[in-house]
Amino acid sequence: MKLLKREQVEKLSRFKCENFLTTSFYLDTDKSRLTRKEISLSAKNLIRNHLNRLEKLGLDKNVKESLKKDLEKISRLCSPNRAPFTFSGLAVFSCSGKNFWEIFELPDAPRNRVIFDLNPYVRPLSAIIDEHINGLILLLDRKKAEWFEFFMGEVEKIEEITSDVPGKIKEGGWEGYESKRIERHIDAQLQNFFKQVAQKTFSFYKNKKNEGLFLGMSDKYYSDFEPLVHPYIKERIKGRLKSYPGDSKEKVIRQAQELEKLIKEKEESRLVDNFITELERGGLAGSGLDNILERLNRGQVQTLMVTRYFSKPGKICSKCGFLYVNKEECPACKVKTEPLVDVIDEAVERAMESNCQVKHINPPSKLRRYGNIGALLRY
Ligand SMILES: [Zn+2]
């Protein structure tokens, strides 16, 4: 199924495998960067590595058998002749021992990984949801209001109402005085219709606390409508679409996706600028991979920003789990560190575990000049 709602993630995280373990499998299937062959190959390698790893884990026979079956099933799913990979990411959650099997199609590419744990590992799913502007779209003119739900780049119409406000009366058909009086009457009717629309929009926000609002209406109607909106809703207006009632769903989706992209780009560049300002004035910011890993080890990071798909090898202490760029021995535990194919991946993971905000910055950005990684610090 498509990843569309937070409720899907909540439901998934409630699954308990009791006497078994669950396999969570994430695969980057973004065909704008990877060929189908490359995707299948990285799936194959990922699965092979974890089959090997499984042999070394001191697990109960039944538990191990169930995990093995999970990986075999996933391997079949990702075989080159079967998987079309028509979406940017794939997530699979499986517990063969309990006949549990869920597939999610993701709108964004995750980092490749396999996790064996008691519960489905859902953090990357939440992170993807957080990266999108979710909420409502309202299209409005004098005749009609249409509401759409906007979620993970998808659009679904949820309600519409029509008004009986007459069209503008034509010049000349009426005597001056009469014409003015009718105009005023229409304005009052229009005002009432817009009020009704504003109230209805507010009612949709009972269950959508932090979500955004996109508006599609002409400038004229916008200036009539905006003052009627509750301040709570005003705060949620994220931008305006060039869509109007009656537009095709495809047009609304396209417009909403473009606006979302634009807003995200602005947010990212604001965040990076903020980081640079803090860094240059010697404030609560850190740069340099070495330094940032140390801050992460000590739990000082508040916001971690990484250029999307940036990766680098590193080291991890098997005893305390501290991350390093190239220390052969952990200074804290005095034990030999182990190599990591991608220390950035672990750093992102660590940050999410300790409730840091993680922001993937799309290249090109100014973050490149700072080694593709930066952090805002708690203290
Ligand atoms: Zn250590």
Would residue 130 be called left, alpha or beta, if left means φ above 0 and alpha means ψ between -120 and 50 degrees? alpha
- Ligand 1 centroid to Cα of residue 295, in Å, is 15
Cα pseudo-dihedral 140, 146, 149, 155, rounded to 10? -90
Reported confidence tier of residue 275, pLDDT bands at 50, 70, 90:
very high
- Ligand 1 centroid to Cα of residue 119, in Å, is 27
pLDDT of residue 270: 96
Q: Find out whether 308 and 363 touch, Cβ atoms under 8 Å.
A: yes
DSSP line for 63-79: HHHHHHHHHHHHHHHT-
pLDDT of residue 100: 96
- Ligand 1 centroid to Cα of residue 314, in Å, is 14
- Ligand 1 centroid to Cα of residue 91, in Å, is 32
**CA angle, 344 then 346 then 349, to 5°:** 110
**Does the pLDDT value for residue 7 go beyond 90?**
no
Reported confidence tier of residue 6, pLDDT bands at 50, 70, 90:
confident
pLDDT of residue 292: 97
pLDDT of residue 16: 84
pLDDT of residue 174: 53
Q: Does domain 284-377 have CATH number 3.40.50.300?
A: no
- Ligand 1 centroid to Cα of residue 258, in Å, is 46
- Sequence-distant (6+) residues with CB within 8 A of 107 are 2, 3, 87, 88, 89, 128, 132, 152, 153
Reported confidence tier of residue 172, pLDDT bands at 50, 70, 90:
low
For the chain, give the percent of residues with pLDDT over 70: 97
The domain segmentation of the chain, as residue ranges, is 6-130, 135-264, 284-377
Q: How many CB atoms lie within 10 A of CB 29?
A: 27
- Ligand 1 centroid to Cα of residue 360, in Å, is 28
Residue ranges of alpha helices (H) inside 156-248 are: 176-204, 219-225, 231-234
Task: Give mean pLDDT, residues 288-299.
Answer: 96
Reported confidence tier of residue 13, pLDDT bands at 50, 70, 90:
confident
- Ligand 1 centroid to Cα of residue 297, in Å, is 10
**Does the pLDDT value for residue 316 go beyond 80?**
yes
pLDDT of residue 95: 97
**Does the pLDDT value for residue 320 go beyond 80?**
yes
Task: Give mean pLDDT, residues 316-342.
Answer: 93
The CATH class of the 135-264 domain is: alpha beta
For the chain, give the percent of residues with pLDDT over 90: 68
Look up tokens 């004098």; give the residue.
Answer: 142
pLDDT of residue 152: 85
pLDDT of residue 274: 97
b or e along 165-180 (b: 16 or more beta carbons within 10 Å of the residue's beta carbon)? Answer: beeeeeeeeeeeeeee
Task: Give mean pLDDT, residues 154-173.
Answer: 79
- Ligand 1 centroid to Cα of residue 122, in Å, is 27
Ligand 1 ion: nearby residues, β-carbon < 5 Å: 317, 319-320, 322, 330, 332-333
Q: Find out whether 286 and 375 touch, Cβ atoms under 8 Å.
A: yes
- Ligand 1 centroid to Cα of residue 59, in Å, is 25
For 55-110, what is each residue's pLDDT tens digit?
998 899 999 999 999 999 999 999 877 777 889 999 999 999 999 999 999 998 99
- Ligand 1 centroid to Cα of residue 204, in Å, is 51
pLDDT of residue 352: 81
- Ligand 1 centroid to Cα of residue 353, in Å, is 18
- Sequence-distant (6+) residues with CB within 8 A of 244 are 139, 141, 216, 217, 218
Q: Which of 257, 73, 243 is nearest to 153 (CA)?
A: 257
**Does the pLDDT value for residue 169 go beyond 80?**
no
- Give the neighbor-by-neighbor strand order of the sheet with 22-28: 100-106, 89-95, 22-28, 113-117
- Count Cβ atoms within 10 A of the Cβ of residue 108 and give its class: 0-12 exposed, 13-18 middle, 19 or more buried: buried
**Does the pLDDT value for residue 49 go beyond 70?**
yes
- Ligand 1 centroid to Cα of residue 315, in Å, is 11
Q: Does domain 6-130 have CATH number 1.25.40.420?
A: no
What is the Cα–Cα distance from 198 to 201, expressed in whole angstroms? 5
Helix (H, G, I), strand (E, B) or coil at 213: strand
Indicate the average pLDDT of the chain: 90
Task: Give mean pLDDT, residues 231-248.
Answer: 94
pLDDT of residue 350: 87
For 25-36, what is each residue's pLDDT tens digit?
999 999 999 998
Look up tokens 């005095």; give the residue.
Answer: 334
